[in-house]
Chain A
Amino acid sequence: MSDRAGILALLARYARRADRLPAAPPWSDCFTERAVLTSFSPRRDRPPAVLTGCTVIAEAFAATAPSHMTTHVVANVVIEYDPDEAEVRSTFVRFDHLNETTVVVGSFGEYLDRAVLCNDGLWRLSEREIHLVSRRRPTPVA
């Protein structure tokens, strides 16, 4: 598999895991053990949230996962290569399936990643910055 194909597969694994699809790979197939995730709010006056370590990241995602189904779409992937590492920039949109008939744009923004080629042949994220441009207000629970 080419480096580009391997990195595109990584982005797809992340989306499948984030969308909690059946048989989705574990977060440990997406992040290195000591990965750092930094999430920037659409409000630029707020400090970013920083999570360190795959386990911590996985626990945070589990704790904040929405109750409805989501679909992450990633596009416009641009890759700059270093030996066994790569800087990856992409654009994403998350669709929220509020119920069986209503799908809305939940959020969109950019991912700025550092990916590394691991010994098992998988590319993983060692750093991910999520730059949210817009995020829908949470739907009130009735």
Chain B
Amino acid sequence: MDDRTPAGDLVAVQEALYRAVAHEHGLELLLNSVVDVDGDHATVSSVSVLLGGDMRDPKIVSCQRVLDSLHRDDHGRWRMEARVPDDNPRETAVSDEVRRE
């Protein structure tokens, strides 16, 4: 992380990412996020825990490390650009129960 990055930028990047990750089925928690801001570009490395299942049977669908990239538009708002896996295979786990389904 750039030591000169204002704390407000870090929060703005994270909040823009949280707004962008709404899922149609289930919800996603982003944990242990590390934000790196470089001018109008930012990356966020997080642990993504995707929750799903039906309304009476909640499950963890996946747990993996992800790398999100965002850019700041002309109005100063951060926008999500892309997500790529940021996996160490040993850190990735998918519920066997969900995998069978």
- Complex CA distance for A133 and B30, rounded to whole angstroms: 17
B residues 32-57 touching A (CB-CB < 8 Å): 49, 51-57
A residues near B19, Cβ cutoff 8 Å:
78
Cβ of B15 and Cβ of A136 under 8 Å apart? no
Cβ of B57 and Cβ of A136 under 8 Å apart? yes
Stretch at the interface among B20-28, B71-79, B83-91: B20-28
The A interface is mostly helix, strand or loop, or mixed, namely: strand
B residues near A73, Cβ cutoff 8 Å:
29, 31
A-B contact count (CB 8 A): 61
- Complex CA distance for A105 and B61, rounded to whole angstroms: 11
| Chain A 108-142 near chain B by CB (<8 Å), digits 1 or 0 | 11100000000000000000000001111100000
B17 to chain A, nearest CB (A): 8
With known contacts A76-B21, A78-B19, A105–B60 Cβ distance under 8 A: yes
